[in-house]
Amino acid sequence: MIRVAPDIATILVGVSRLEQQPEPAFAAARTAAQAVAAFLQRSRLRDVGSSRIALSQEFRFSSGEQRFVGYAARIGFSVVLRDMAEVEETITGLIGAGANELTSVTFQTSRLREVRADARRRAIAAAREKAELYCAAAGVVAGGVLAIEDANPEFVTGRNEGHVHREAVVDDAGEVKAMDPAAISVGAAVHVLYDIDPGRQ
């Protein structure tokens, strides 16, 4: 498992307004969305997207009954930031401008392909080390690779156990250090099948 600092943040927010009739709901949502769009324009954020306005009927349970409470009009916004220092200010500004739904804030890294490749190389090296350890204990020598199967680094499925999932075992190959809570974990796992070298048993 490799941990890397994020350099991309995606913020999903929504503007939702509830009214007794569709027309006022649409109007209120559009007005609030215009304020949010104006904030984004002032902030000079370029990687921004918005959804079409949607309308839904809202119900609430009261005294064991489902009661109609109005029509909710909603417009969603997506903002991608590449400066992590702007995340807090942007969220605060979006909510202050009229967004009343904070759907999610996710962090990613632009180096995912590079880091994932490194994690896979480490997984292969770890598999070889384990194979040689087990073979040495059994009095045999690990030979060449017969098969390599990519696996989910978070869950390893037992082949004869239906849908039961096991958590992957993570080896501690380095010095114990404090982890950055904001760091992204990038892992890789493989199933490697080795031959037994008959000439070196």
Asked whether 10 and 63 are in contact (CB, 8 A), the reply is no
Q: Please state, rounded to an integer, the average pLDDT across all residues of the chain.
A: 85
Q: Using CA atoms, how far apart are residues 40 and 65, in angstroms rounded to an integer?
A: 41
pLDDT of residue 18: 97
Pick the CATH number of 2-108 from 2.40.110.10, 3.30.70.2970, 1.10.10.1100, 3.90.740.10: 3.30.70.2970
Tell me, yes or no, if the pTM score tops 0.85: no
Q: Using CA atoms, how far apart are residues 79 and 152, in angstroms rounded to an integer?
A: 29
pLDDT in tens, 157-172: 444 433 333 333 444 4
CA distances for 150 relative to 111, 120, 136, angstroms: 20, 9, 25
Q: What letter does residue 47 receive in the DSSP assignment?
A: S
Q: For the residues 176-191, what does the mean pLDDT come to?
A: 73
The ranges assigned to domains in the chain are: 2-108, 112-200
Owner of token pair 């943040």:
9
Q: For the residues 70-88, what does the mean pLDDT come to?
A: 95
Q: What is the largest CA-CA distance in the chain?
A: 83
**What sign does the CA torsion over 22, 25, 29, 32 have?**
positive
pLDDT in tens, 16-30: 999 999 999 999 999
Return the structure tokens found at 6.
Answer: 């994020």
| Residue predicted with more confidence, 72 or 154 | 72
The SS3 of residue 138 is helix
pLDDT of residue 200: 62
pLDDT of residue 158: 46
